[in-house]
Amino acid sequence: MSSKVTMQWTGGMSFDAEVNGHHLIMDLDVASGGQDSGPRPKPLLLAALSGCSGMDVVSILEKMRVENYKFHVDMEADSTSEHPIVYHTIRMNFHFTGENVPADKVIKAVTLSTEKYCGVGAMLKRAANIIVRIYINNEDVTP
C-alpha cells in the first residue's frame, strides 16, 4: 500500500498539500517570512503521531468494551539546536476522564498503540526519544 501527497506552492512560504482528497495549508509565521495561514510542517508530525495513536487507543478500548470516557493527547517536543533541526524528545501525555475508567485497560490500550501498532510512532522512534505518560482523572497511572 502506498501513500501519495501532492503539494502546490501558493506563494510566499505557503503550500497547499492534497492528502487523500483533503487540503492542508502549511505556512511559516510572519517573523519567519510567512503569513501564518497554516501550521508549520514539523508540528504536523506531532499531530500525525497523536492522531495515529489516538485512533489505535479508541479502537482498542472499543474492542475491550470500555465506554463513557473522554480522551485527549497533549504533545510537546524538544528540538536540536544544530541543522538539520529535528525533534530529539517527544512527550505524549494521554488524558482520560470519566467515572470508573479502568486503568488496566487504558494502560494496555496505550501500550499496544505506542509499542506495537502506531506506524507514525514507529517511524519517529528512529529519530527521537518518545516519552509516554498516562493520566486518568488527572492522576498519573503510567506503569
How confident is the model at residue 1, as a pLDDT?
82
The predicted-structure confidence for 20-72, as pLDDT tens digits, reads as follows: 999 999 999 999 999 999 999 999 999 999 999 999 999 999 999 999 999 99
The number of folded domains in the chain is: 2
Mean pLDDT of the chain: 97
Domain span holding position 30 = 1-39
Same structural domain for residues 68 and 82?
yes
Burial degree of 106 (CB within 10 A; 0-12, 13-18, 19+): buried
Same structural domain for residues 82 and 114?
yes
The predicted-structure confidence for 96-131, as pLDDT tens digits, reads as follows: 999 999 999 999 999 999 999 999 999 999 999 999
| pTM summary value | 0.94
Query: Which of 76, 96, 78 has the alpha carbon at shortest distance from 86?
Result: 78
